Structure 1
Amino acid sequence: MANSADLFAVTIDCPDPIQLAQFYQHLLGGRLLSSNDDFVVLISDCGGRLDFQRVANRQPPPWPDPTAARRLHLDFSVDDLDQTEKHLLSLGATLAEHQRGGQRFRVLLDPAGHPFCIATADAAGIPTATAP
């Protein structure tokens, strides 16, 4: 029998872990835990965990540069795209210049420059077809 693994956290490299953790706490709710200024854990109200780790000279990923190294980004399902976008912009996010989602989703950049998406429930739905 093969070993299995459980994903327990997604770690985000950034120049200011406390600031970025507080940004995502405003979006997801939850509580922040930290033993020092270089590493902060956000346990969201839904039980997910995001870790924020200080990395010197961290450059934000270019969006949407097809020649750049591929990195992951986070997607969040929200009830109201316009209202959530306005709230996130007031917290320090910026709207990415390039948008492909129409009224289904929006691409924003968090205060450290990481791209992330907010999406309608329809856009966030799990596909019904089985992957090959």
Structure 2
Amino acid sequence: MSLQLQVVAITLDCPDPLALAAFYRQATSLELHPKSDADFAGLNGEHGLLIGFQRVDAYQAPSWPDQIVPQQLHICFKTDEDLGETEARLLELGAGKPDHQPHGDKARVLTDPAGHPFCIAAR
């Protein structure tokens, strides 16, 4: 018998929860959770999913693609917009772009302002 679990929250460690929530809010248009504060901020996603950001003292950003500091979590996003334009907008918001791009023109690997790698791909 298989379990029927529903994902209700995904939480990322970071040095500044409100700043990272602001980055993802601008990138996704998700609404800021009303109880967000300097220690924990969240974005309300579809179907009740919360994307959370929790303050961690002495936070170390993941080192990607090597695993000296493991990434722990990797989020992928799809877009209906032009991939290059989406990438440019995310870079303007504060994302970074690692040199290593394993997906060619099909997807891009970026890093959020706290260093977490994430992918964007055309739908």
- Say whether the fold is shared (TM-score over 0.5): yes
1:31 equivalent in structure 2: 31
Closer, same or farther: CA 83–31 of 1 in aligned 2, 3 Å: same
Identity of aligned residues (%): 46
Structure 2: segments with no counterpart, 5+ residues: none
- What is the one-letter code of the residue matched to 1:55? V
Deviations 1:10-63 (A, max 9, x none): 00000000000010011111211235310011013x443200100011111111
Letter in 2 for 1:84: T
SS in 1 for 2:6: coil
Which of 1 and 2 has greater Rg? Answer: 1
8 A Cα contact 2:97 2:111, kept in partner: yes
The structure 1 segments of at least 4 consecutive aligned residues displaced by more than 4 Å after TM superposition are none
Unaligned runs of 5+ in 1: 122-132
For residues 67 and 113 of structure 1, do their structure 2 counterparts lie closer, same or farther at Cα, with a shift above 3 Å needed?
A: closer
Residues 67, 14 of structure 1: CA spacing in aligned structure 2 closer, same or farther, 3 A cutoff? closer
Task: Kindly indicate whether residue 63 of structure 2 is the aligned counterpart of residue 55 of structure 1.
Answer: no
Output the CA distance in 2 between the equivalents of 1:100 and 1:119: 12
RMSD value over aligned CA atoms? Answer: 1.8
Tell me which of the two structures has the higher relative contact order, counting C-alpha pairs closer than 8 angstroms and 6 or more residues apart.
2
Q: How many residues align?
A: 120
Q: Aligned letter for 2:90? A: L
